[in-house]
Amino acid sequence: MDFEFSPEELDFVADVRRFIAAQKALPDAADVMAPDREADSMLADSPARRAFNRRLAEAGYLGMSWGREYGGQEKSGVYDYLLNEELASVGAPLIGKGVGCIGKTLIAHGSEKLKREFLPRILKAETEFALGYSEPSAGSDLASLQLKAVRDGDDWVLNGQKLWTTSAHFADWYWVAARTDPDAPKHKGISVFLLPMDHPGLTVTEIRTMGDHRTNQVFFDDVRVPGDYLVGNANEGWTYVCEALDYERFTMFTVGPIRVKFDALLELLRITRRDGVALADDPLLRRSVARLAAELESATMLQRRVIAAAMKGAVPTVEAAMYKLYSTELGRRMADFALDALGPEGLLRHDAPDAPAAGKWEHSYRATVVDTIGGGSSEVQKNIIARRGLGLPLR
């Protein structure tokens, strides 16, 4: 049993750290890298963020696990994971949607036209995507989605609504799942389309989450999509959606921000005094923080199990559910602990002059709740573990 990465993988990590150190010296660094930021608020657009992504591309960090014929390097997916872990630890944008979900699905199922049009742009970080899966009545039960796509000559015409589309307000292209056969069983009548986000039939409106994260609802009013922007075959979209989620496994799970949060928690205990005594000397708080340290180690090991299983070619559904459940709930427990330790003052928001740690923990308390919902709620992860991992009956 070896929990360490190989010498080549460690060399790669050192290389990424040199890249990040060079980025930190640039004038726009503070706009792009903010390790204290909650992970879900990294998704705002800015010229600095786009420039950072282009520099990632120029350094050869995008599409590392793609085939060479598509401009990739045929590296194992573990390199995408190691890269994201380093990026997440400094609060930088992660690689994900374009390279993982959309790029890899197009490589596996897309037409030559779609490959030629999108893959080079993904590799150069020229295109931002939004993912349109969830709807008002289809979140956890995604296969119930109702956005309607009807054939009209060579085109498809889309009507309906999506909900919670993160980055719809700045993305260039929309990757959308729609119902193309309402009479088929619900998993069978779904197709995936690509459409420009500035299509006149789309209306994007803002939703603010309790964690200050901007997400959106998107309304479709006779959105006409040419037939060659259908991804793969009609009515086989559910397979593509599930595969796309599998491709994300290497890139979406980072433990780095939780480690950064834990270090900030230790610092908080060291520098905060109550009645003349440092919080770090309080036996109850010491006991609780020691438990959190053990839990952080557990989260790291659960995460390694996801990566190890995926590297052996398995689809680590149960391992990923365990890690998602445990790590996002751990983030919440850390924020809860910080607020308990700070007492009533901890509830002050960042704009209050006396807010401890500039309101970081109050914000974390709200934002970590959102982490337990996005990408599949904690209850849904528990269902996966119960059913697929423990063989308990479906309820």
Ligand X SMILES: Cc1cc2nc3c(=O)[nH]c(=O)nc-3n(C[C@H](O)[C@H](O)[C@H](O)COP(=O)(O)OP(=O)(O)OC[C@H]3O[C@@H](n4cnc5c(N)ncnc54)[C@H](O)[C@@H]3O)c2cc1C
Active site residues: 248
Instruction: Please say which residue, 65 or 372, places its beta carbon nearer to ligand X.
Output: 372
d(CA 105, CA 194): 12
Query: Of 160, 168, 226, 154, which Cα lies nearest the Cα of 197?
Result: 168
Separation CA 335–CA 215 (nearest Å): 22
C-alpha span between 386 and 381 (Å, rounded): 9
Closest distance of CB 391 from ligand X, Å: 17
CA 320 vs. chain centroid, Å, equals: 13
Tokens of 364: 């974390």
- For ligand X, which is the closer residue by CB, 49 or 292? 49
Instruction: Kindly tell me which of 215 and 364 has the beta carbon lying closer to ligand X.
Output: 215
Pick 309 or 380: Cβ nearer ligand X: 380
Residue type, 228: D
The distance of closest approach from Cβ of residue 21 to ligand X in the complex, given in angstroms and rounded to an integer, is: 31
SS3 366: helix
Give the Å distances, CA to CA, from 31 to 43, 139, 210, 364. Answer: 12, 32, 23, 20
How buried is 328 (Cβ within 10 angstroms: 0-12 exposed, 13-18 middle, 19+ buried)?
A: buried
Q: Which is nearer to ligand X, 268 or 320 (CB)?
A: 320
Smallest distance, Å, CB 135 to ligand X?
8
The token pair at 9 is 């993988």
**Closest residue to bound ligand X by CB:** 139
CB closer to ligand X out of 380 and 385: 380
Contact positions vs ligand X (CB under 6 A):
40, 131-134, 139-140, 164-166, 209, 213, 215, 370, 373-377, 379-380, 383
**Shortest distance (Å) from residue 376 CB to ligand X:** 5
| Minimum separation from the CB atom of position 91 to ligand X (A) | 17
DSSP string, 294-352: HHHHHHHHHHHHHHHHHHTT---HHHHHHHHHHHHHHHHHHHHHHHHHHGGGGG--TTS
3-state secondary structure of 274: strand
Burial class from Cβ neighbours inside 10 Å (0-12, 13-18, 19+) for residue 176 reads: buried
User: How distant, in Å, are the alpha carbons of 217, 368, 369 from that of 334?
Assistant: 31, 9, 12
Q: Which is nearer to ligand X, 269 or 318 (CB)?
A: 318
Rounded least distance, CB 214 to ligand X, Å: 9
Residue count of the chain, please give it: 395
C-beta of 342: minimal distance to ligand X in Å?
Answer: 25
